[in-house]
A = this chain, B = another copy of it.
């Protein structure tokens, strides 16, 4: 695991599963949201990690997730740093090591009070650049 990758577990809920007995495809995004927000809090150390919006998502569904999988984790890797945006590569796995999805999101940081996007602060940018530099890939 690269230095800039961290693993977080998100427990599944019965409600995540759809009529086919698999976690519903839109819930992959809900689960990734939880993992990503913790990464933004604990790795990039944003003060208000929820205050962002998605600008783009690409997701390959690699394997279905079933209730018995119990929880998912996502490896998050920073790919690109923009003025207000971050591009993150995300691989979601279950406890047996099976990869269930691979994807990429572009998120934009928000100033929620003012209702506009906001640039990264100098500290955030410094940490982001360090994460990029530490990426062996």
A114 at the interface (CB under 8 A from B): no
- How many monomers of this protein are in the complex? 4
Q: A27 in the interface, Cβ–Cβ < 8 Å?
A: yes
- The answer, among B33, B58, B67, for a CB contact under 8 Å with A26, is B33
Q: Is A55 close to B, CB under 8 A?
A: yes
A9's nearest neighbour on chain B, judged by CB, is: B11
Q: Does A53 contact B (CB under 8 A)?
A: yes
How many chain A residues sit at the interface, stated as a range, is 20 to 34
Secondary structure at the A interface, as helix, strand, loop or mixed, is mixed
Residues of chain B lying within 8 A (CB to CB) of residue A24: 15, 30
Contact partner, A33, options B14, B22, B37, B110, Cβ 8 Å: B14
CB within 8 Å of B: which A12-57 residues: 13-15, 17-22, 24-27, 29-30, 33-34, 37, 50, 53-57
